[in-house]
Structure 1
């Protein structure tokens, strides 16, 4: 039975918008600590401590928002996958349990959710096809996934540089890389909103929804 994904889609949209807001705050905190590290001669210990606290707070907020968004997104992802069976069951080659499991497979989670998303996208496109096969572009799915993976990769590099930094210059470099990952994450969240809204509209267009 096809169930409307709109309620979950709205919740995911709000959370992704919150992720964007927190990432913007993180970029601001990063720019602040980057400037302080570049001007240590005129920076007091108090200012440096405040900057570090602000940067730490932004990281904590990012973690909390990411976990909350991931939880709701996976619930929505499972819902649209179950719905997809009602539109084109033969397209859905991966079991619906992979809507959750694909995210927790080491290495495989770099591409399995993307493959799963494409199947759901193709199946949902048939909701208004009138029995004929409807070809659809995967550009929106690919743009979201590619940007998100890029953000993760750059973040890993930035975290490693930050952990091993032993000089103010090294900390500045690490901060710059982390800020780049934040900017990529903003783009990925925005593209994620477009992906979620579009896929949900595709499924809602079905008369049985």
Structure 2
């Protein structure tokens, strides 16, 4: 139970107000302090709704998938043009069609880069938000400090492992509790599929990019373009599972916040709307 006025501190008066809200009159004759709920979190730590950020991430991930589809189509067009030239040893090679194919392929690649960068930034902001909420839910479940929710993505090699470790702690802490106070176990299948396909997609992208830089002969261009298209398909699958992961974790945190055991921010703090204040 929290103060009936500020909803931040335990009540100390008969009318349910805390020491600060009661003022000098309440301080003169306080009631015996109410026991602090075991799940009470220090007032400076608040839950903030990740729902707005989650919606932005989902939209951007959808755009990423669309850009990948465009890149696959551009790659297929490039393969068609090059293959047509190989059939007659480029005797009737269409230079205009080849130039158009190159431009479409380059444009699709540039669009992929820009959209992926924007999505990565917003995703990490969302990831930090849910990590901070998990600190309020259950800090004992968090294997690393909150700052690593950002830093872990930028450590070479380790960024293939650390973010998943952090996500696991967030997932566990965000699982809704049962009526008897026990933790509900939520299968992490969606999270594991997202992370698995994302890692495979990243590794494949690095490999195919290096191969495409070395491709000079027509047959090499055909082969590497096919590899890049395969990498783009993996990225589409990873984006789909990322959407499912973001939506699932955001929903889980909303359900856990609805239990009413945690302070949900202060007036005027962005992100408070949508969840309201706990009682």
What range describes the TM-score normalised by the shorter chain of this pair?
A: over 0.9
The question of whether the paired residues in 2 share the 8 Å contact of 1:157 and 1:177 is answered with no
For the aligned residue pairs, the C-alpha RMSD in angstroms reads 1.1
Divergent runs of 4+, >6 A: none
Q: TM-score, normalised by structure 1?
A: 0.96
- Worse-superposed segment, 197-206 or 152-161: 152-161
1:3 CA drift (Å):
1.2
Residue in structure 2 matched with residue 165 of structure 1 by the alignment: 215
Q: Distance in 1 between matches of 2:196 and 2:61?
A: 17
Residue in structure 2 matched with residue 65 of structure 1 by the alignment: 115
1:46 CA drift (Å):
1.2
The within-5 A match list for 1:143-162 is 143-162=193-212
- Worse-superposed segment, 127-136 or 187-196: 127-136
Is 1:92 aligned with 2:92?
A: no
Residue in structure 2 matched with residue 114 of structure 1 by the alignment: 164
Is 1:102 aligned with 2:147?
A: no
Q: Distance in 2 between matches of 1:104 and 1:187?
A: 23
Is 1:36 aligned with 2:86?
A: no
Larger-gyration structure (1/2): 2
Residue in structure 1 matched with residue 66 of structure 2 by the alignment: 21
Q: Which of 172, 177, 182 lines up with 1:128 in the alignment?
A: 177
Bigger relative contact order, structure 1 or 2 (CA pairs below 8 A, ≥6 apart): 1
Q: Over residues 163-190 of structure 1, what are the superposed CA-to-partner deviations in whole Å (9 max), with x where a residue is unaligned? A: 1112100001000000001000000000
The question of whether the paired residues in 2 share the 8 Å contact of 1:13 and 1:196 is answered with yes
Q: Over residues 67-119 of structure 1, what are the superposed CA-to-partner deviations in whole Å (9 max), with x where a residue is unaligned? A: 00000000000000000112211101210001100000111001100111111
Q: TM-score, normalised by structure 2?
A: 0.72
Of Structure 1 and Structure 2, the greater helix share is in 1
- For structure 2, the residue ranges without an aligned partner over 5 or more in a row are 1-45, 261-274
Q: Number of paired residues?
A: 208
